[in-house]
Amino acid sequence: DAARQAKRMSLLDKVAAAHVAVSDSAILALQKALEKAIESAFPSNANRNPWKPPQLVQLQSSLNKAAAKALINSLHSVDELEHLKKLQYRPEHWPKDFPATWASWIRAKLLYTLMPADRPVWWVISQPLAIGLTLLGLVPFGVCLVPMTALFLAIDKTDEFQLINLVCMIKAMCFLQRVLLGLVGLVQLYVSSTSDSCELFAPGLTDLEQLAVLTLLPMQLLCWACLYQFATVRGARTLAHKRKKAAAVRRKHGIPSRSAPSANALNA
């Protein structure tokens, strides 16, 4: 594991070095293009105006280069900030400490096992906890409510992706449960039709099958709760975006905001 981690870090260093090299070459090309654009907008060439003093021509040329360099530096600063922001979200920059409380640790363990951000699905299906929770979710006789409810309590209710992901997981579990129940019912139908035990083994006669049907109701309630929370979060974010956009339009046209008192109100 240590050798693999070292190899991965060396690969990341090479990628970062290549990114820096490409950024430097792109910045140099952009600087030359900006210098040409500024020169065309504010020409300092003495051939176009032979009566212009050479000192003024040199000063204007240096100002054009300084303006282009300032623009490049500002763009480079923005690019560096974006690059640093992306680096913060890499797994190697995540906090290494475990959560303080046992409840937070259980929540983090459950979410990382079922919804990891840096692991493929093949890693998930190789984890014993994920396999156990999946098997529990496939049992349609009320047992499936345990992992689904625990996952519903563990996810972030303000994250739209986690809410929709949980809805998809619940729907997938319900589909697989119905497939398994259909196969079991097919076997029961065959056994009851080829023997004299039709009154005992016919499909739909046991209490477990009725319990499996009743289990669909709380599973659907979990889906509806996730969808309701999703609609609430999406509506709040849409409203905040509209208010921010309206505030920007008001500032652009010099209209005072609704929260700020008007001049007439202050005079009154």
∠ at Cα 188 (182, 191), nearest 5°? 145
- Please report the pLDDT score of residue 267 as a whole number: 44
- pLDDT value of residue 108: 86
pLDDT > 80? residue 31: no
Q: Do 44 and 57 contact (CB within 8 A), yes or no?
A: yes
pLDDT, position 118: 77
Instruction: Give me the residue label for tokens 């999703």.
Output: 230
Proportion of the chain above pLDDT 70, given as a percent: 60
Sequence spans of domains, the chain:
2-93, 102-252
Report how far apart, in Å, the C-alpha atoms of 104 and of each of 97, 100, 111, 172 are. Answer: 12, 7, 11, 27
Which has more pLDDT, 107 or 55?
A: 107
- Give the other-Cβ count within 10 Å of 90's Cβ: 10
Which pLDDT does position 212 carry in this prediction? 84
Residues with Cβ < 8 Å from 68, sequence gap 6 or more?
A: 31, 34, 35, 38
Q: List C-alpha distances in Å: 78 to 4, 15, 31.
A: 33, 20, 15
**Residue 34 to residue 26: CA distance in whole angstroms:** 12
pLDDT, position 73: 64
Confidence of residue 265 (pLDDT cuts 50, 70, 90): very low
- The average pLDDT across 132-136 equals 91
Structure pTM?
A: 0.58
Q: At CA 102, angle to CA 96 and CA 103, rounded to 5?
A: 105
Query: With 0-12 CB in 10 A as exposed, 13-18 as middle and 19+ as buried, what is 219?
Result: buried
**pLDDT for res 22:** 47
Mean pLDDT of the chain: 75
- The HSE-up count of residue 13 (CA atoms within 13 Å, CB side) is 6
Over residues 148-171, mean pLDDT? 92
Q: What local confidence, expressed as pLDDT, does residue 206 receive?
A: 72
The rounded distance, in Å, linking the Cα atoms of 222 and 29 is 55
pLDDT at 6 over 70: no
pLDDT at 259 over 70: no
Check whether 209 has a pLDDT greater than 90: no
pLDDT at 51: 62
Give the HSE-up count for residue 30: Cα atoms under 13 Å, Cβ half-sphere.
Answer: 15
Alpha carbons 132 and 141: distance in angstroms, whole number = 16
Q: Considering the chain, what percentage of its residues have pLDDT values greater than 90?
A: 20
| Three-state secondary-structure class, residue 154 | helix
Residue 18 pLDDT greater than 60, yes or no: no
